[in-house]
Structures are given as C-alpha cells and as structure tokens.
Amino acid sequence: FIPHRLVKKEISSFSTSRLHSTDVSSESPFSELVEALADTITASNERHNSGLDGASTGWSDWVDESTSTHLKSFLTNLTLSPSPTVTWLSSSPTSLTVPVPLPSPLSSRIKATLFKITPNQPVESSTPLPPSSCIFISKLGGKLIHSRILKNGRIAGERIVNNCITSYGGTMDKVEGKGWGIKIMILPLNSERELLEVIYDCPELTIDGSELLSYSSNSTLSSNGTLKSSNFKNITTNVGGLDAQITTILRRLTPYKNLEEKKNLEDLGIKSPKGILLYGPPGCGKTHLARTLSSLLTDNPIKVVNAPELMSRFVGSSERNVRDLFKEAFEDFEMGREGRHVVVIDEIDACFRKRGGIEGDAGGMVRDSTVNQMLGILDGVRELENTLVIGMSNRRELLDDALLRSGRLEVQVEIGLPGGEERQEIIDIVFRNLREKGRIEEEAIPFIYGGRDDGKKERRMWRRRRDMNLRDTTEGWTGADLAALVRSAVSFSLERDTKGLPWIVMKEDCRKAVKEIAKMKI
C-alpha cells in the first residue's frame, strides 16, 4: 500500500505516471520507508532539473547531501520486526535475500532488498550494480562489512557498516559478516528499469520483506505531546559530527517511543530530566546544538540568555532576573497549561559557579544566592516540571557541584573538538548552501569533499600530488573556524572581477581562506 501523504504529493518529475491509490493513511515502518524514498527521489529530481546533480557537475552524487543524510538517518532507525518469520530466517544456515517490493513508480527507480548474512557466506552480486546508481546499505543488526569488487576481481573500499553507508554502482559488491541489513539501490532519472535486475549469488526468498520491518525511532515529544520522529535527522542535518551526543540526549530526554509508554513511565514516577549541560571548548557547536535541539522540543518561544547578563550589582536583582527567565513557565505550570519551556543559558559558569568561594565579597554573595535560586527551580520546593534548562560552559569544573548533581543538570554531554570524519561532516554542512546553489567551482569540489569515505579515489589523487584536502588541512579546527572559513572564501571570491558573470568560490579562495583563518587562530 502507499501512504496517504505520498499519494497527495505532486511528484511531477517522475517519468512514469503519477501515483494513484486507494486512501490508505495508516503509518507503518514500510509506509514511512516509502515516504522517505519518495522524498529522496523528489529532491534529487529537483536537483537534476536545476542542473545541480552529478550529470552537470561530473560527480556521481546526484542524490544531494541533505537528502542523503535524511535517508541515512531514517534507515539507521529501521530494525527487524520481532516476528516468528524473522526468528525462523535468522536461524537459517545459509545467507539469503528478501525483496522489499515498492509501489510503482518508485519501483522503476529503486530496488530494496533485505539480506541476512551467515558467517563465511558473503552476499555477492554476480552482476555489476547499475552504473551511477546510488546505494545505501544499512545495518539492521550484527556486524556487516561491505566492499566493492572491481572488474579484475580485486576488492576495493572495504568498510564496516556502522549504521548506514553509501556507495555507488558500476562495480559488483559484497557484504559479509553476520547479521541483517537492507540495501537500497536508486537509479538516476531516466534510467532503464532493467538495470535494477541485479542478481545475488544466494537464495532469494519469495516472501514480502516489507512485513519484516520495524521502526525504532529516536523520536521525542514536542510540547503538545505529539511524536516528532524526525528529530534526529532534523538535528544532524544542521549539526555535524555530533551523532553520538545527539543520540544520548534524545535517549535521555525521551526514552519512550509513544505517548502510552510515556504515560506508563510517569505512572512509575520516571520523568524526563530537567537539565542538560553541554560543555567543551569554544566554537565546537554547543550553542548551535542547543538552539537546534530546543526548537524541536518546544513550540513555545525559546529563552536564550548569557549568564553574565543575569548578574546585577543590586541585591535581589539577580535572583529576580532568574525568576523572570522562568516567568512564563511558572505561569503555565500553575495554570496547568500543557507545553514544554526551554531555557538556554550560555556561559553558565559565569553565574552558577561553586558557592562559598574565597571571595567573600558582594559579587560572591550574589552568585551564591543566584545558584540557590536556580537549584530551587530545578529541584526544589517550587520545582518546575514543564521546563528544560540547557546550560553551556567551557569550564565545567567551575560549576557548583549541587547544580551538577543528578536531578538537576543531570545529562552532561561533552562537545569536543571534531576529529577528521566529524570535520568533514561540518564542512559538508557549512558549504551546503553554496554547493546546492552552484556557487562552488568544479575543481574546488574534490578539495572540499575529498576527505570522505565515498571520495577515497579523490583523496588518493590529492595525496599523490602532495596536495591536502580541506579536511586534512584543517586539523584542530573547530566548527566555528570552518564556518568562518566559508565566509572568508566567499569574500575572496566576491573580490575577484567576474566580468559580469556570477561569482563562484574557487579552490584558490578556499586556500586563501584557510591561510587567513589559520593566522587568526594562532
């Protein structure tokens, strides 16, 4: 069946007929999958029609970065349903594949296959995967290793499938290990459907794989209590390199999968934590994550404040400032109105540092009573149950222990300096708009994107020429540095005389920007 939302959607660029179906509105993991795939195709078609896809840039990533991220995070949440069929198939002594039939017209562009791998029995394609197809392989359980098999039989690009990976067609491929996975193969616009007839050298069952799927969502609740299953993907689309931290936060804030489960937990006295602390060096994305996260957790306006602003020289004023920060939350709480409030406090160490310090001055006293005020709000007589406080600090060690103890800023997550992979994710995000608007010179693309797994070829090429890609050149940089680099690169490209042509960011602009920002960092 086809989900209702999809039926209503205008997918005008499909080459085949429009979708038409009976009115089916029920949600299931399969209908959500179909929805996610339809979104991918729609966005990629739009990209193609505006000349931004692989065909026009010479790159094979015609599924654009943000769409690909969406689909990957959706696939990451797919699991197997706890059904007797799955149990029975899991105990099979051989590897096997199970087709997941997709509704027309998706089936003319996409093939979805579940596979179960038994040790020492890889699932290999005995025909090459369609050239220029975009492939997503997601782990549903176990340990899977994916590799490409070149024409001469050599194995290339061996990768462990952590959650979901992408790959391209044109070669044969192999998945080995032990466990279950799903493989989605998507053809570019106007391809022959026959290209999807890939043969695997292991038994293909004739059962319907869509019934074996389940969805384990990282979902959280919005203020009105409705499930927002897309939160993880919404956050990771804008915040790079922090998947593990985001998963932890969402797990802690909303360990339930639906409202009934939430109610059951509340009946057991288990409530969502009221405070989160994001700590780590400056510029690594604490504020950016806090803002993105909060906007998904509430429909109420988010209060963002810099802690030093709360401090006042006048006795009693700082406490009043803290109370004012929570005024609407108190009102709603007392009136019994539904809805979560989120208060984001930056530089929280400036205001809520350890009490009873040696200062003994008026400033120290004001701080002490401000801490007390805050503790009361989080976990005291006038405790606020409808409010989440997100504190941010570069100096966690300065914070008052009472504020850090369980029940207060209970969820503490370090937002550290990004490593290579993480930097690449941030680079993808900060350059995304420029790339999607065609503002990046073709030659600059391998330099900017050459560091990712899918770009191994480019990476090797750059290394051979003793040339570094952006990711490698920016070791030790923060997300804020990378965002500054984009601004600097754009300014260099605007400086150039374009002779009436639209400006475009060139590789040399990126190089100059690297130098400029690196100088500022010293």
**One residue of 247, 321, 394, 412 binding ligand ATP per CB under 6 A:** 394
**Counts for the chain of helices (H) and strands (E), in that order:** 20, 16
d(Cα 121, Cα 216) in Å, to the nearest integer? 28
Crossing angle, helix 65-76 and helix 420-436, to 10 degrees? 130
The answer to whether residue 297 forms part of the interface with ligand ATP (CB under 6 A) is: no
Mark 241-280 with x for binding to ligand ATP (rule: CB under 6 A) and - for no binding. Answer: xx--------------------------------------
Q: Which residue, 98 or 514, has its beta carbon nearer to ligand ATP? A: 514
Q: Which stretch binds ligand ATP (CB under 6 A): 53-61, 282-290, 324-332, 511-519?
A: 282-290
d(Cα 360, Cα 348) in Å, to the nearest integer? 20
The radius of gyration computed from the CA coordinates of the chain, to the nearest angstrom, equals 26
The answer to whether residue 434 forms part of the interface with ligand ATP (CB under 6 A) is: no
* Angle at 26 (CA atoms; ends 23, 30), nearest 5 degrees: 110
- Minimum Å gap between C-beta 462 and ligand ATP is 24
d(Cα 134, Cα 65) in Å, to the nearest integer? 12
**One residue of 288, 367, 452, 459 binding ligand ATP per CB under 6 A:** 288
Q: Which residue, 384 or 480, has its beta carbon nearer to ligand ATP? A: 480
Whether residue 512 contacts residue 489, with contact meaning beta carbons closer than 8 Å, is answered with: yes
Q: Which residue, 301 or 419, has its beta carbon nearer to ligand ATP? A: 419
Whether residue 419 contacts residue 471, with contact meaning beta carbons closer than 8 Å, is answered with: no
Q: Which residue, 388 or 392, has its beta carbon nearer to ligand ATP? A: 392
- Minimum Å gap between C-beta 419 and ligand ATP is 12
CA 343 to chain centre: 23
d(Cα 452, Cα 48) in Å, to the nearest integer? 23
d(Cα 39, Cα 41) in Å, to the nearest integer? 6
- Minimum Å gap between C-beta 435 and ligand ATP is 15
**One residue of 47, 116, 286, 471 binding ligand ATP per CB under 6 A:** 286
d(Cα 208, Cα 212) in Å, to the nearest integer? 8
Mark 337-376 with x for binding to ligand ATP (rule: CB under 6 A) and - for no binding. Answer: ---------x------------------------------
Whether residue 207 contacts residue 98, with contact meaning beta carbons closer than 8 Å, is answered with: yes
The answer to whether residue 84 forms part of the interface with ligand ATP (CB under 6 A) is: no
Pairing of the two strands 387-393 and 411-414? unpaired
- Minimum Å gap between C-beta 486 and ligand ATP is 9
Any idea which residue has 């409030």 for tokens?
341
Q: Which residue, 98 or 235, has its beta carbon nearer to ligand ATP? A: 235
Pairing of the two strands 155-160 and 134-149? antiparallel
**One residue of 122, 130, 169, 283 binding ligand ATP per CB under 6 A:** 283
Q: Which residue, 171 or 292, has its beta carbon nearer to ligand ATP? A: 292
- Minimum Å gap between C-beta 177 and ligand ATP is 31
DSSP 84-132: HHHHHHHT-SS-EEEEE---TTGGGTEEEEEEEEBTTB-EEBSSPPPTT
- Minimum Å gap between C-beta 246 and ligand ATP is 10
Whether residue 425 contacts residue 440, with contact meaning beta carbons closer than 8 Å, is answered with: no
Tokens at 116, concatenated? 């179960």
The answer to whether residue 52 forms part of the interface with ligand ATP (CB under 6 A) is: no
The answer to whether residue 479 forms part of the interface with ligand ATP (CB under 6 A) is: yes
**One residue of 98, 284, 297, 470 binding ligand ATP per CB under 6 A:** 284
The answer to whether residue 470 forms part of the interface with ligand ATP (CB under 6 A) is: no
Pairing of the two strands 172-186 and 134-149? antiparallel
Q: Which stretch binds ligand ATP (CB under 6 A): 40-48, 89-97, 214-222, 284-292?
A: 284-292
Q: Which residue, 328 or 481, has its beta carbon nearer to ligand ATP? A: 481
Q: Which residues contact 299 (CB under 8 A, 6 or more apart)?
A: 222, 223, 224, 339
Among 92, 281, 312, 60, which residue's Cα sits nearest to residue 169? 60
**One residue of 103, 240, 275, 391 binding ligand ATP per CB under 6 A:** 240
- Minimum Å gap between C-beta 13 and ligand ATP is 30
- Minimum Å gap between C-beta 235 and ligand ATP is 10
**One residue of 196, 429, 510, 514 binding ligand ATP per CB under 6 A:** 429
The answer to whether residue 480 forms part of the interface with ligand ATP (CB under 6 A) is: yes
Structure letter (DSSP) for residue 151: T
Interface positions with ligand ATP (CB under 6 A): 239-242, 282-288, 346, 392, 394, 426, 429, 479-480, 483
